[in-house]
Amino acid sequence: MALTLRADGWEPGGRIPPRFTADGEDRSPRVEFAGVGDNVRAFALIFDDPDAPGGTWDHWVIYNIPGAARELAAGIARDEVLPDGARQGRNSWDEIGYRGPSPPPGKPHRYILHLYALSQPIRVLPGLTAAALRDAVRPNVVSSATYTGTYGRD
């Protein structure tokens, strides 16, 4: 079975509800994953906007999510280290934790959740950027999945 990913609150490719954006509560959505193989020991997740005017904008970087996990709860605290040992990195605002979509007015942007199933947790400190995380997990990726939503402002 292939790794799958789902965000609570919108269908694949659908509009992201304002509560998960800068126009609402600006809180992380509940994210569920399934189809996890027996050799998965950790997960990493990046939420980004590839349509941002200056290039890809990272909204959330979280890693070393325990391999037994099958979801991330909604509204995760913006702490570097979470109670389950997961670590959060720096988004493009240079802040720890989740910051929701906040595109400029115009055409809606795509927002992509990238989930990586890993053969082992990565041995790094909290606070990684998305680019550093992608480099760090590359040797340990067992499988991956994506989930897309859109959001725009008039």
The helix/strand/coil state of 123 is coil
Could you give the domains of the chain?
4-151 (3.90.280.10)
Tens-digit pLDDT profile for residues 42-88:
999 999 999 999 999 999 999 999 999 999 999 999 999 999 999 99
Sheet (strand 71-72) strand order = 4-7, 31-34, 71-72
Q: What is the DSSP letter of 126?
A: S
Residue from 102, 135, 138, 128 nearest 16 by CA: 102
Q: Alpha helix (H) ranges present in 73-139? A: 130-137
Locate 82 and state its tokens.
Answer: 């979470």
pLDDT value at 4 more than 80: yes
CA 5 – CA 55 distance, rounded (Å):
24
